[in-house]
């Protein structure tokens, strides 16, 4: 006589069990959440505008955020410039990387003044120290994306240095600029919500923040995109 097989007990809180495996009560228990510790700076920059906003508002973490974001911008932009320069015969990766970093930082400096002026005109002034931290954090996201896109213009420049390569270079900077501008907008909204947890912004406050956020997105995207022009001198 064939032995009867007991039907597995169902538990909506547990992972579905297989009828071909013997499961104990411990096996059916809910899986405990893994404690991965505090998120890294890069993780916060890429994934969580809210966590980045908390770092901006924390005086003890703001200097680390500024230095980390600045280092990320330098590393990502230099990597992109070196890879693109290596695609052309006679190109100088070191010189290109140095000028690429200089151009991006100069573009961010050019965006700082108009953003600050827009915040004053909209009666939503952001302290300059927090504005610098927010701007660098946004640009760090674009720089990392720029480095990730570097193989595309490199490969296309090898194939066609007349059309495909230059267009891929423009496209990479355009995507990076849009990403930086979009993250700037989200960070400003997150800052407005977290600056005073006990007092939420009113609809009028949110409208003023939205104006500054949209203008900031445009300025960051525009000036970062213009930093592409310097590639014509040394690539």
pLDDT score recorded for residue 179: 92
5 part of a folded domain: no
pLDDT score recorded for residue 41: 83
Average per-residue pLDDT in the chain? 83
181 part of a folded domain: yes
25 part of a folded domain: no
Domain count, the chain: 1
The arithmetic mean of pLDDT across residues 119-148, rounded, is: 93
User: How many residues are there in the chain?
Assistant: 235
Residue 76 has pLDDT above 70, yes or no: yes
Predicted confidence band of residue 118 (pLDDT cuts 50, 70, 90):
very high
pLDDT tens profile 80-106: 989 988 887 777 888 888 888 988 998
pLDDT score recorded for residue 28: 66
pLDDT tens profile 15-33: 566 677 676 777 666 666 6
pLDDT score recorded for residue 233: 47
7 part of a folded domain: no
Rounded CA separation 190/210 (Å): 11
Q: What angle do CA 148, 154, 156 make, to 5 degrees?
A: 115
The arithmetic mean of pLDDT across residues 181-205, rounded, is: 86
Predicted confidence band of residue 117 (pLDDT cuts 50, 70, 90):
very high
Residue 1 has pLDDT above 50, yes or no: no
Predicted confidence band of residue 227 (pLDDT cuts 50, 70, 90):
confident
The domain of 67 spans 41-234
Please, what's the largest Cα pairwise distance for the chain? 87
Q: Which residue has the higher pLDDT, 168 or 233?
A: 168
> To the nearest whole percent, how much of the chain has pLDDT over 90?
43
32 part of a folded domain: no
Cβ contacts of 228-233, under 8 Å, gap ≥ 24: 228/169, 228/170, 228/173, 230/99, 230/100, 230/103, 231/84, 231/96, 231/100, 231/169, 233/99
34 part of a folded domain: no
24 part of a folded domain: no
Q: Is the pTM of this model over 0.75?
A: yes
Residue 147 has pLDDT above 80, yes or no: yes
Q: Strand locations in 73-162, DSSP E?
A: none
224 part of a folded domain: yes
């Amino acid at each position: 006589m064939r032995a009867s097989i007991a039907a597995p007990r169902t538990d909506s809180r547990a992972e579905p069990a297989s009828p071909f495996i013997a499961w104990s009560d411990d096996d059916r228990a809910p899986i405990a959440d893994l404690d991965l510790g505090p998120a890294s700076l890069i993780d916060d920059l890429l994934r969580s505008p809210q966590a980045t906003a908390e770092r901006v508002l924390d005086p003890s973490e703001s200097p680390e955020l500024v230095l980390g974001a600045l280092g990320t911008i330098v590393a990502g932009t230099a990597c992109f410039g070196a890879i693109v320069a290596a695609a052309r015969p006679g190109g100088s990766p070191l010189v290109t990387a140095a000028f690429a970093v200089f151009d991006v930082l100069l573009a961010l400096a050019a965006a700082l003044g108009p953003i600050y002026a827009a915040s004053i005109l909209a009666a939503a002034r952001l302290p300059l120290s927090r504005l610098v931290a927010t701007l660098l954090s946004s640009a760090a996201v674009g720089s990392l994306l720029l480095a990730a896109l570097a193989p595309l213009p490199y490969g296309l420049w090898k194939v066609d240095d007349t059309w495909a390569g230059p267009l891929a270079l423009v496209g990479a900077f355009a995507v990076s600029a849009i990403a930086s501008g979009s993250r700037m907008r989200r960070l400003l909204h997150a800052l407005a919500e977290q600056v005073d947890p006990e007092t939420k912004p009113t609809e009028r406050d949110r409208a003023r923040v939205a104006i500054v956020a949209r203008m900031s997105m445009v300025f960051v995207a525009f000036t970062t995109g213009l930093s592409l022009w310097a590639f014509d001198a040394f690539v």
